Amino acid sequence: MSDQMKDRMKDIVSLCKRRGFIFAASDIYGGINGFWDYGPLGVELKNNLRDRWWHDMVIAPPLGLDGTPISIVGLDSSIIQNPKCWEASGHASGFNDPMVDCKESKKRYRADHVVVLIPKDGQGYALAFDKDAEDIEIEKRLKKLAKNKSISDFDRKSLDQIPVEDFPNIIAPDTKKAGTLTEPVQFNMMFKTTSGAKEGSDSEVYLRPETCAGIFLNFKNVLDSSRVKVPFGIAQIGKAFRNEVTPRNFIFRSREFEQMELEWFCAEEDVPKWFDFWVEQRTNFWLSLGIPKSELHFLDVPKEDLSHYSSRTIDVEYRFPFAAPDFDELEGIAHRGNYDLTQHQEFSGQKLDYFDQAENKRYLPHVIEPSTGLTRGVLALICEAYTVDENRPSGVYLNFHPSMAPKKAAILPLTAKPHHVEPAQKLYMELRDEFVVDLDIKQNIGKRYARQDEIGTPYCFTIDNETLEDHSVTVRDRNTMEQQRIPLDKVKAFLREKIYG
């Protein structure tokens, strides 16, 4: 990260705290790494993004490939599920132990599943094998890589017992050269807790590491209780928890966060067209919120980096300041195949297949999953909105899309005298049912404008002496700082047009 961008992130974090967007969780106790609280303005911004996603997915989903609205239903599943769910999804085994990556073969190993043969004479490299490797297989490899030494010339240790400083001296299981293993990382990404009064392994449960699991578990319930037919989607927004090894970059990677996920169920042969459809839809979503195309990048995730369940993923990346001039992930659009339904069907013993009446056949639908972080989206909106402008007293303003701005307007009586305050209060009462508006009475008007600029309020209405004479108000535009007068009774219509129009 360049120094300039480091400063940019620092300024953003500081503005977020100063103006009440985002605070460190447990701030008065010195914080807690990876956890954040959303203040009065942060929660409005987050709700705006959440509501917009829900609207565009569930309330008014896009028109599909045939020009008619597609079908998506909502869900709000429990954060804690039966622990078998995580065995089926692969999270229980994959997330629980120190893992070591090989930079050469791109393979990942559980450190305690790798056995290392260390030469007794201290000469040459140590050799790593799968712990279940047969002696005959070991001997074969020793012949090639260890000058015809045999098993008895080595001591055995498990990789998790070997200090990291010695890793450069180890030839990994699937390579021919030493020094390709990374440091072990604790991949116990799931937070564990207990359910019920009795502690013990029977009562151990996990906080979900992604929201989508609840969707797969309820696939059959939704099919049986609604009139949906494949293709259709189930959407969910909610908290997810990951014990990230290195939470970083403010709310970008945190240990508690929120996701907005759609699982789109379709026939396998239709996957390519629906995949392209969702990439386009999701791109349009971010563009419509004021993220310019130039700040987005689409990464066709290389095969070796794909998650275990995915055969294709496109990451929609945004140029976050800490990544600039590069990009980092904002959303992933994954083809999950029918991995999840297959796994849950097997582990639960319940049939999860779909019966297609028209074709008279049963099958497990494939899934395309656009999945984005709500909290990460909030960070993208704040970073994009942050605009330096030395020509205004605040020096900076947040250029939010009006529909995302936490406050849609501020009503500012010029003075705190009753003849200014009373009409301001009246206007506030008229607007507040429909818009989140601020009535800010005290302080000089310049300071009040500066505050509204810093929190990204698109319009300020000022009540002054002229208001008393001709029933008009001044509207100040946040971006241009231009002022115009409009009739008091047209303020609501003005806001409607600017915000929804």
Cα–Cα distance measured from residue 368 to residue 275, given in angstroms and rounded to the nearest whole number: 6
Task: Find the shortest distance in angstroms from Cβ 327 to ligand GAP.
Answer: 12
306 lies in the site for ligand GAP, by CB under 6 A: no
**Interacting positions 183-212 with ligand GAP (CB under 6 A):** 210, 212
**Selected range binding ligand GAP among 49-57, 330-338, 404-412, 442-450, rule: CB under 6 A:** 330-338
Cα–Cα distance measured from residue 399 to residue 235, given in angstroms and rounded to the nearest whole number: 29
Around Cβ 16, how many Cβ atoms within 10 Å? 23
Neighbouring residues of 470: CB distance < 8 A, sequence distance ≥ 6? none
77 lies in the site for ligand GAP, by CB under 6 A: no
Asked whether 107 and 97 are in contact (CB, 8 A), the reply is no
Around Cβ 71, how many Cβ atoms within 10 Å? 15
Task: Find the shortest distance in angstroms from Cβ 194 to ligand GAP.
Answer: 24
Cα–Cα distance measured from residue 411 to residue 425, given in angstroms and rounded to the nearest whole number: 8
Task: Find the shortest distance in angstroms from Cβ 360 to ligand GAP.
Answer: 33
E-assigned strand segments in 92-222: 98-101, 108-110, 114-119, 126-130, 154-158, 170-171, 185-186, 192-194, 204-206
**Interacting positions 211-230 with ligand GAP (CB under 6 A):** 212
Q: Which is nearer to ligand GAP, 97 or 263 (CB)?
A: 263
257 lies in the site for ligand GAP, by CB under 6 A: yes
Mask: binding to ligand GAP, 143-172, rule CB under 6 A, as x and -?
Answer: ------------------------------
Q: Quick one: tokens of 149?
A: 């030494």
Cα–Cα distance measured from residue 483 to residue 486, given in angstroms and rounded to the nearest whole number: 10
42 lies in the site for ligand GAP, by CB under 6 A: no
Report the residue from 253, 319, 401, 478 that binds ligand GAP according to the rule CB under 6 A. 253
373 lies in the site for ligand GAP, by CB under 6 A: yes
338 lies in the site for ligand GAP, by CB under 6 A: no
Report the residue from 52, 208, 242, 448 that binds ligand GAP according to the rule CB under 6 A. 242
Cα–Cα distance measured from residue 256 to residue 239, given in angstroms and rounded to the nearest whole number: 7
Cα–Cα distance measured from residue 242 to residue 257, given in angstroms and rounded to the nearest whole number: 8
Cα–Cα distance measured from residue 427 to residue 411, given in angstroms and rounded to the nearest whole number: 8
Cα–Cα distance measured from residue 297 to residue 130, given in angstroms and rounded to the nearest whole number: 39
The dihedrals phi and psi of 60, each to the nearest 5 degrees, come to -135, 70
Q: Which is nearer to ligand GAP, 33 or 150 (CB)?
A: 33
Task: Find the shortest distance in angstroms from Cβ 234 to ligand GAP.
Answer: 13
Q: Which is nearer to ligand GAP, 254 or 345 (CB)?
A: 254
Task: Find the shortest distance in angstroms from Cβ 372 to ligand GAP.
Answer: 5
The DSSP 8-state label assigned to residue 151 in this structure reads G
371 lies in the site for ligand GAP, by CB under 6 A: yes
Report the residue from 11, 139, 244, 466 that binds ligand GAP according to the rule CB under 6 A. 244
Site for ligand GAP, rule CB under 6 A: 210, 212, 242, 244, 253-254, 257, 259, 261, 329-332, 369, 371-373, 375-376
